[in-house]
Chain A
């Protein structure tokens, strides 16, 4: 039996593992021997033995072939080891890059930008959705409430991650196979020892089992004791212990004054532990027992209230329990609760979900963001690599002769590819180092320069670092391989004859990339133009309120409300105290300030209006408009008559009135909206309760001028509702005063010290109108800088791309250009035609980019920028095309300087 054709082909294929010379000498014999043995085995020992022989012979041929290749390489001379040749190529690449400084600078910078962006995205992903250090997600779960029907529509989410306290206790005590911890957030005012003053600290209120459930043991001391009846105990964060408590080794057992009461420090959290969720959220400085939470004390304690959801619940599965089992148990407990309390729990079920560092409620969104980020990173990398590949093509095209010489004196193609790739590798390593330095070291360097503490964000860790190094290699292959393959087989004779070539065409891929980059740069340019204009206008146009002489201090009235007092009455007393201070002309209170970066928008509608208008909501006490310096255009402001029980009143701003009532008079009309976190007028709850209430109807009693909302921008629609009708416990007491910051702070200290366990915290809490402006401008300048940087990066990448593509066109058309000059074309004409090519490369992208910008503008808030938009669009196009011209200039000048005699020498 002769081998079947496919067996024969297979063996011939594996014989390619042997070096070419060996194949030339021995392959026919080897095949013959193989065939003889196969025939003999098939005949004497059966088909299976023959098949085994074929497989064994194939493996044997590959192994022996590779060994033979190694042996031949060694016998070719001692200097020919792979490592040595790679090292020599790398050294040569470094030298040749050092000579071509322009190319090196441009390529390293552009790769630095690209890889830096990618590294930043990777780091961001790590921060956003990576588990914080020390947390092992195995067996860690989060318990959530699943809303149904009408509740689901109201919550507008698939899960609610907060539980009422009694529900939490039922689940905690009932769930077997699961250890459960509840937690809630808050702030505490803490007095530092040795007279170092007081400060406000972020606090986690947690069950005794919290640290065990999360799986991060304390660095010192012990966790809270379940049997501890006294709640005056505290665990401090490691960093807080080091920075504020002097890393006192005797901290355990010492006392700290928290909220005016001495608390015993029982533990120090593990180093780096700031809470169990992803690192982008601010961490906690201290932990207090969940039972010490303000919600659970006083006459309005929520200890038995099943309607207020505020405890979040984590669990850890025991070794014998699966997620599905735990889910079933928790579901049945919740079903039991729903049976006993149908009114509040009819539309609720429960579920156990695997731990996600950003809260499971955000899991889907976070994953989508992650995918988007990764896709964006990949796109940036691809674009940069294609650009660089274009530039390397130009460089290789000008070195074709050198490569031909190498080939002519015996270099193999693989050797040339290795040589060309080593240059790409050096560029990738330098670019990667630059990008990594900017992304990972710059924040720390800036923090050091400005004397701040370094960021705690673990932007880089082992995984990110490894991915970065891997990406550098991938990038070098990506942008080096195409030119390396293309130029490792130059037409030796033609290149050596100094024929300048012709007929090579720039690939479509490269032209398309350049167009895409130019296109991407245009929306960025438009966006940065709009934002720069906003910065300019924010400095000149009125904000809608008067920041000069405006001062505010935050006040937490939770204690007051818990004792059963009326918040509005207490605030009236504070206002009366303040009004007596010298220089104070007006006093009011509100749950927010303009430019406080606190999002409070809600959709507003009225009968007969199909679509809702989003407006910024503020709950205010009487005299707010006057204190803020907001002009009242018609009607009245919020007064003392707008109290609990009276008709629900609202003051709306001019633009909202115009949009809700384009033809009718808004004054006296009824509008409908829902306020966040308010469960009707009688309810005073912790202000971070965020289940939205049902929409209510309000009567418009006044129309004010527009003003800026939470961020600096054009003045927009506003809603002002009476604080007395919609009370919250965290408010700002606001004054307009001519007494300056010192005088006003003293006045505040006199009036609100009763609400501050540590009065010296008041001084650092006072906010002035100028502070708000500064913060607002800072934020705007920051976002504009980002957008300008984005536009510049996009433009620079586009410019590099055009430089590469046009440069390559010129390098490969030298002869044609020479002929044109010889035939009488003037140099300026050649210059013009090459520049026109550059514009042609960028133009399609610019057009598409312009369309993109139009679409983006109509979909987002930029649409409100009227008057200047056409100018911004024109400017963006002009900048993009100018950059194309500048990028094409070096190549155009090279083309115009071609000497016809040199170009045609070969003929």
Chain B
């Protein structure tokens, strides 16, 4: 897999699907694809879902770019079915997730300043 040493800011803005996957992996655990799907859904109380096509396109892309890393799962996988691959955030991935979150937070501040959102923050 091609790893590129790029600055985290060069990934910004992130595609929504990528950002969601990064957030789902933010706890630092190794998760397989279906678990990531569920995590995305749970994060938003089922409001947002990510479908397998988008999910694996995002994972492939981010694995190429070094935002996530993958490893083969154990032979006796508890989830059943064929052997799965597990994914985890890399430090670059974490930095990118942080940079994107800060970008979004800046946008939120603007929305609050313009009274689009109530000023509940701080």
* A residues whose Cβ falls under 8 Å from a Cβ of B: 18, 22, 25-26, 28-30, 32-37, 56-57, 60-65, 67-68, 71
Contact A64 B84 (CB under 8 A): no
Report chain B residues within 8 Å CB of A36: 34, 79, 81
Report chain B residues within 8 Å CB of A71: 61
Q: What's the Cα separation between A323 and B55 when bound, in Å?
A: 59
Contact B37 A37 (CB under 8 A): yes
A45 (CB) vs chain B CBs: closest residue: B46
Q: What's the Cα separation between A472 and B85 when bound, in Å?
A: 51
Contact A60 B53 (CB under 8 A): yes
Which of A22, A25, A32, A63 is the one whose CB lies under 8 Å from B84?
A32
Which of A32, A35, A56 is the one whose CB lies under 8 Å from B51?
A56
B81 (CB) vs chain A CBs: closest residue: A32
Q: What's the Cα separation between A29 and B71 when bound, in Å?
A: 13
Contact B60 A68 (CB under 8 A): yes
The 3 closest A-B pairs by CB, nearest first: A61-B53, A64-B53, A60-B51
Contact B52 A60 (CB under 8 A): yes
B16 to chain A, nearest CB (A): 13
Q: What's the Cα separation between A36 and B61 when bound, in Å?
A: 23
Report chain A residues within 8 Å CB of B60: 22, 25-26, 68
A22 (CB) vs chain B CBs: closest residue: B60
B32, B34, B59, B61 interface centre (most CB from chain A within 10 Å): B34
A32, A62, A63, A65 interface centre (most CB from chain B within 10 Å): A32
Q: What's the Cα separation between A578 and B89 when bound, in Å?
A: 114
Report chain B residues within 8 Å CB of A32: 33-34, 81-82, 84
- Chain B contributes a number of interface residues (CB within 8 A of A) equal to 19
A52 to chain B, nearest CB (A): 11
B residues 45-60 near A (Cβ < 8 Å) are 51-57, 59-60
A61 (CB) vs chain B CBs: closest residue: B53
Which of A18, A30, A60, A63 is the one whose CB lies under 8 Å from B33?
A30
Report chain B residues within 8 Å CB of A64: 53-54, 56-57
B54 (CB) vs chain A CBs: closest residue: A64
1/0 contact string of B55-86 vs chain A (CB within 8 Å): 11101110000000000000000010110110
Report chain B residues within 8 Å CB of A67: 57
Known: A28-B82, A29-B84, A29-B85. A34 touches B52 (CB 8 A): yes
Q: What's the Cα separation between A61 and B53 when bound, in Å?
A: 4
Q: What's the Cα separation between A60 and B57 when bound, in Å?
A: 10
Report chain A residues within 8 Å CB of B79: 36
A62 (CB) vs chain B CBs: closest residue: B53
Q: What's the Cα separation between A35 and B79 when bound, in Å?
A: 13
Q: What's the Cα separation between A34 and B33 when bound, in Å?
A: 10
Contact A33 B52 (CB under 8 A): yes
Report chain A residues within 8 Å CB of B51: 56-57, 60-61
Q: What's the Cα separation between A56 and B57 when bound, in Å?
A: 16
B52 to chain A, nearest CB (A): 5
Q: What's the Cα separation between A55 and B61 when bound, in Å?
A: 24
Q: What's the Cα separation between A18 and B55 when bound, in Å?
A: 13
Contact A33 B54 (CB under 8 A): no
B68 to chain A, nearest CB (A): 13
Report chain A residues within 8 Å CB of B52: 30, 33-34, 37, 57, 60-61
Q: What's the Cα separation between A736 and B66 when bound, in Å?
A: 105
A551 to chain B, nearest CB (A): 89
B24 to chain A, nearest CB (A): 13
Q: What are 5 A-B pairs at a CB distance below 8 A?
A: A32-B81, A33-B55, A36-B79, A56-B51, A67-B57
Contact A68 B33 (CB under 8 A): no
A65 to chain B, nearest CB (A): 7
Known: A36-B81, A68-B60, A71-B61. A30 touches B53 (CB 8 A): yes
A228 to chain B, nearest CB (A): 72
Known: A26-B60, A30-B33, A37-B34. A65 touches B53 (CB 8 A): yes
Q: What's the Cα separation between A61 and B56 when bound, in Å?
A: 9
Contact B34 A30 (CB under 8 A): no
B53, B54, B84 interface centre (most CB from chain A within 10 Å): B53
A25 (CB) vs chain B CBs: closest residue: B60
Q: What's the Cα separation between A323 and B33 when bound, in Å?
A: 65
Q: What's the Cα separation between A30 and B82 when bound, in Å?
A: 11
A20 to chain B, nearest CB (A): 13
Known: A32-B34, A68-B60. 6 other contacts (CB 8 A): A29-B32, A29-B85, A30-B53, A33-B56, A37-B34, A61-B51
Report chain A residues within 8 Å CB of B81: 32, 35-36
Q: What's the Cα separation between A497 and B105 when bound, in Å?
A: 66
Report chain B residues within 8 Å CB of A35: 81
Report chain A residues within 8 Å CB of B84: 29, 32
B89 to chain A, nearest CB (A): 18
Contact A33 B34 (CB under 8 A): yes
Report chain A residues within 8 Å CB of B59: 26
Q: What's the Cα separation between A18 and B59 when bound, in Å?
A: 14
Report chain A residues within 8 Å CB of B54: 60, 63-64
Contact B34 A63 (CB under 8 A): no
Report chain B residues within 8 Å CB of A63: 53-54
Known: A56-B51, A60-B51, A61-B52. A33 touches B57 (CB 8 A): no
Contact B34 A68 (CB under 8 A): no
B41 (CB) vs chain A CBs: closest residue: A37
Report chain B residues within 8 Å CB of A68: 57, 60-61
Which of A26, A37, A56 is the one whose CB lies under 8 Å from B56?
A26
A453 to chain B, nearest CB (A): 65
Q: What's the Cα separation between A26 and B85 when bound, in Å?
A: 9
Q: What's the Cα separation between A4 and B28 when bound, in Å?
A: 36
1/0 contact string of B13-56 vs chain A (CB within 8 Å): 00000000000000000001110010000000000000111111
Known: A26-B56, A63-B53. A33 touches B33 (CB 8 A): yes
Q: What's the Cα separation between A28 and B33 when bound, in Å?
A: 11
Q: What's the Cα separation between A780 and B81 when bound, in Å?
A: 85
Q: What's the Cα separation between A718 and B69 when bound, in Å?
A: 100
B residues 78-111 near A (Cβ < 8 Å) are 79, 81-82, 84-85
Q: What's the Cα separation between A64 and B61 when bound, in Å?
A: 11
B103 to chain A, nearest CB (A): 22
Q: What's the Cα separation between A37 and B32 when bound, in Å?
A: 13
Q: What's the Cα separation between A18 and B53 when bound, in Å?
A: 9
B117 to chain A, nearest CB (A): 31
A70 to chain B, nearest CB (A): 11
Q: What's the Cα separation between A32 and B82 when bound, in Å?
A: 8
Known: A36-B81, A56-B51. A29 touches B37 (CB 8 A): no
Report chain A residues within 8 Å CB of B57: 18, 22, 64-65, 67-68
B31 to chain A, nearest CB (A): 11
Report chain B residues within 8 Å CB of A26: 56, 59-60
A30 to chain B, nearest CB (A): 5
B51, B52, B54 interface centre (most CB from chain A within 10 Å): B52
Q: What's the Cα separation between A22 and B53 when bound, in Å?
A: 11
A55 to chain B, nearest CB (A): 11
Q: What's the Cα separation between A342 and B60 when bound, in Å?
A: 89
Q: What's the Cα separation between A61 and B54 when bound, in Å?
A: 7
Q: What's the Cα separation between A34 and B51 when bound, in Å?
A: 8
Q: What's the Cα separation between A22 and B54 when bound, in Å?
A: 13
Q: What's the Cα separation between A57 and B52 when bound, in Å?
A: 7
A583 to chain B, nearest CB (A): 99
A26, A29, A64 interface centre (most CB from chain B within 10 Å): A29
Report chain A residues within 8 Å CB of B55: 33
Q: What's the Cα separation between A35 and B34 when bound, in Å?
A: 10
A379 to chain B, nearest CB (A): 46
Which of A28, A33, A61, A65 is the one whose CB lies under 8 Å from B37?
A33
B108 to chain A, nearest CB (A): 28
Q: What's the Cα separation between A18 and B81 when bound, in Å?
A: 23
B54, B59, B60, B82 interface centre (most CB from chain A within 10 Å): B60
Report chain A residues within 8 Å CB of B32: 29
Contact B56 A29 (CB under 8 A): yes
Which of A25, A28, A57 is the one whose CB lies under 8 Å from B53?
A57
